[in-house]
Copies of this chain bind each other. A is one copy, B any other.
Amino acid sequence: MENFADRLTAEIEAKGTPAVVGIDPRLELLPLPLRRKFEDRGASLRTLVAAIKAFSCEIIDVVAPHVPAVKPQIAFFEMYGWVGLQAYVEVVRYARKAGLLVIGDIKRSDIGSTAEAYAAGHLGQVMVSGRLVEMWQEDAVTINGYLGTDSIEPFLKEVNTRGKGIFVLARTSNPSGGEIQNLTADGKPVYMHMADLISHWGAASVGQRGFSSVGAVVGATCPEEAREIRAALPRAYFLVPGYGAQGATVADLKPAFRSDGLGALVNSSRAVIFAYRRKPYDEEYGDRRWQEAVLAAVKDMRADLMPLFTGTAI
């Protein structure tokens, strides 16, 4: 079973970019051709979820040749109950068939046998009909580590035996992310204590390319913190949210990368998938050509990130 970090590095190199597209299918933001199908408020749950799934799969069709991975956000499916989650796993499967790595943005956290259940369901296998089956089928998932080592161990088992990956929240990109994460304890901030744990958790899954399959979520909106975490975690992949719609720039992203241009995945969700609503794409493409807006936005994102990837960013 190939190491996740090695697979990720190979895909980043093959696609020539560290760009990841976040699949956040918010119903109210879908382009008109999809929105029209449920605009009468009497649309059934199946109709709503079908629109979300169709949107997600069309995004995958557009971006698959251009990025190494997608990051579907499970919450936007979970809000439509189990019917929504049926679409989530179909989207995960669709993305994998399109040759993409899938990072499930699930941010689960629990302990003991409960953590084992999440790990088995998302990264492991479950015995069904006489064979071991992957239920949710992600290549990697995001995890909240507030509960400590024994909340992570069941996931590490899947990482170390099945070539899966995890990204543990270290410093998140939201305005109040620092309330707990930036508290200073024993001379360093909580996010650095989390980084130390992540380093420890990832030691057993360092692949041939020198990266661990245990990565860290580090927001692009906090470049100073990213620099500090990068120094403590030279072998971790950073999954970096906050670029694009959340306002971070390429300069803010630089500390997340190693000097060789590897080591970070930069996620953009809204700015790519809803590009048809945003300048400069809205006037040219609009609702009807929303897929072309996605393509233009993902190409612009690739170009934007290229100096980081080639190690030539100032």
Interfacial residues, chain A to chain B (CB-CB below 8 A): 24, 26, 41-45, 48, 73, 75-76, 78-86, 88-89, 105, 107-115, 117-118, 120-121, 126-130, 133, 135-136, 144-151, 169, 172-181, 183-186, 190, 193-194, 197
Of chain B, the residue at the smallest CB distance from A145 is B180
List, in ascending order, chain B residues with CB within 8 A of A117's CB.
26, 73, 75-76, 78-79
In the assembled complex, the CB of A85 is this many whole angstroms from the nearest CB of chain B, namely 4
What's the Cα separation between A112 and B151 when bound, in Å?
25
In the bound complex, residues from chain B placing their C-beta under 8 Å from that of A75 are 108, 110, 114-115, 117-118, 121
- A127 neighbours in B (Cβ, 8 Å): 41
User: In the assembled complex, which residues on chain B have CB atoms less than 8 Å from the CB atom of A113?
Assistant: 24, 26
- Residues of B close to A85: CB separation below 8 A: 81-82, 85
12 contacts between A and B (CB under 8 A): A45-B133, A73-B110, A73-B114, A75-B108, A80-B126, A80-B135, A85-B85, A111-B173, A147-B172, A148-B174, A150-B174, A180-B193
CB distance from A39 to the nearest CB of B (A): 11
A136 to B83 Cα, complex, angstroms = 11
Q: In the complex, are the beta carbons of A79 and B121 less than 8 A apart?
A: yes
**A contacts with B: majority SS:** mixed
Closest Cβ neighbor of A134 among chain B residues: B81
Q: Judging by beta carbons under 8 Å apart, are B149 and A48 in contact?
A: no
Asked if B135 and A81 sit within 8 Å, CB to CB, the answer is yes
Q: Which chain B residues lie closer than 8 Å to A83 at the CB level?
A: 82
Bound form: Cα–Cα A114–B174 in Å: 12
CB pair A197 B179 closer than 8 Å: yes
In the assembled complex, the Cα of A190 lies from the Cα of B117 at a distance in Å of 27
* Residues B175 and A79 in contact, CB atoms below 8 Å apart: no
| A84 / chain B contacts, CB cutoff of 8 Å | 121, 135
Closest to A189 in B: B185
CA distance A182 to B204 in the complex (A): 26
A105 to chain B, nearest CB (A): 8
* Complex CA distance for A166 and B264, rounded to whole angstroms: 35
Residue of B nearest to A88 (CB): B82
| Residue with the greatest number of chain B CB neighbours at <10 A, chosen from A114, A169, A172, A193 | A114
Q: Are B110 and A109 in contact (CB under 8 A)?
A: no
Complex CA–CA separation, A82 to B87 (angstroms): 9
- Measured between alpha carbons, how far is A44 from B128 in the docked complex, in Å? 6
**A48 with B128: CB separation less than 8 A:** yes
